[in-house]
Amino acid sequence: MDLLALAQDPTVWVALFTLIVMEVVLGIDNLIFISILTNKLPEHQRERARRIGIGLALIMRLGLLATVAWIVQLTQPVVTILGNEFSWKDIILISGGLFLVWKATKEIHHAMDPVDHKDTMVGSAATVSYGGVIAQILLLDLVFSIDSIITAVGMTPHVPIMVIAVVVAVTVMLLAANPLANFIEKNPTIVMLALSFLMLIGTTLIAEGMGFHVPKGYVYAAMAFSALVELLNMVSRNARRKKA
């Protein structure tokens, strides 16, 4: 089907809108991780690192779209453990989920015990590496990109629609990166909430890789509710501060 025929099909427009929303929502996970990691860098390096991280996410997604046939094969079982079949997609999701849970746990431990600088997400302030941050962003970009593309393939068979949705979603990520990172940095309690989100997302990825379907709507509804409660707490604290 050519582009003109696609543009004249109303079902394609519905699929495009739905896919853009899904890709933006999935991109939030990626963006939270990028924001927390880049906030560990010196201030003059943060914006560049975010742009590189998000740019790599776009390149990776578009590259994977060019190999859709190969991506679909990732869902085929390749190994059986204790009677359970695992595909490459499952293995990647489990590995990425474990990585997220481990990193979030390390950072939460550091927040609870700031004297122990060995357990920070990317090392202590003195040893944090720009290259190390980019490498970790690249690793998680891969996990989120594969999840994103497989979701897209399941929603529409038209590659141009997938490309448009991915480009729009990554553009939204690029525009939201600095405001989100600055907001997280200025509100320490938000950092703990964001780390909790990463742990929840990591656990969800592990569950998905193990074959347990976790409805994304429930996960994001819980995250939205938690964010709303924290927002009310912030408003309450500011009101008390002004009154004092």
Q: Where are the domains of the chain?
A: 3-243
How many Å apart are CA 142 and CA 110, to the nearest integer? 26
The two structure tokens encoding residue 205: 């990825």
Query: What would the pLDDT profile of 139-153 be if each residue is shown by its tens digit?
Result: 888 877 777 777 777
Query: Which portions of the chain are predicted below pLDDT 50?
Result: 1, 118-127
How many Å apart are CA 139 and CA 132, to the nearest integer? 11
123 phi and psi angles, rounded to 5 deg = 100, 175
Question: What per-residue confidence (pLDDT) applies to 8?
Answer: 66
Query: What would the pLDDT profile of 199-234 be if each residue is shown by its tens digit?
Result: 888 888 888 888 888 777 788 788 888 888 888 888
Query: Taking a C-beta distance cutoff of 8 angstroms, is the pair 161, 6 a contact?
Result: yes
Question: What per-residue confidence (pLDDT) applies to 89?
Answer: 80
Question: CA-CA-CA-CA torsion for 147, 150, 156, 157, nearest 10 degrees?
Answer: 150
80 phi and psi angles, rounded to 5 deg = -120, 125
Half-sphere exposure of 32 (CA within 13 A, CB side): 25
Distance, first Cα to last Cα, the chain:
66
Q: Which of 94, 104, 105 is closest to 212 using CA atoms?
A: 94
Residues 6 or more apart whose Cβ sits within 8 Å of residue 223: 197, 200
Question: CA-CA-CA-CA torsion for 211, 146, 193, 51, nearest 10 degrees?
Answer: 180
Question: What per-residue confidence (pLDDT) applies to 3?
Answer: 59
Question: What per-residue confidence (pLDDT) applies to 9?
Answer: 67
How many Å apart are CA 22 and CA 17, to the nearest integer? 9
Query: Taking a C-beta distance cutoff of 8 angstroms, is the pair 163, 62 a contact?
Result: yes
Helices and strands in the chain, H and E counts: 9, 2
| DSSP-assigned letters across all residues of 111-161 | HH-TT-GGGSSS--TTT--HHHHHHHHHHHHHHHHHHHHHHHHHH-S-HHH
Exposure class string for 16-32: b at 16+ Cβ within 10 A, else e:
beebbebbbebbbbbbb
Question: What per-residue confidence (pLDDT) applies to 2?
Answer: 59
Question: What per-residue confidence (pLDDT) applies to 72?
Answer: 66
Question: What per-residue confidence (pLDDT) applies to 199?
Answer: 85
Question: What per-residue confidence (pLDDT) applies to 69?
Answer: 65
Q: What is the mean pLDDT of the chain?
A: 78
Q: Helices 188-209 and 10-38 sit at what angle, rounded to 10 degrees? A: 120
Question: What per-residue confidence (pLDDT) applies to 128?
Answer: 63
The two structure tokens encoding residue 171: 């553009």
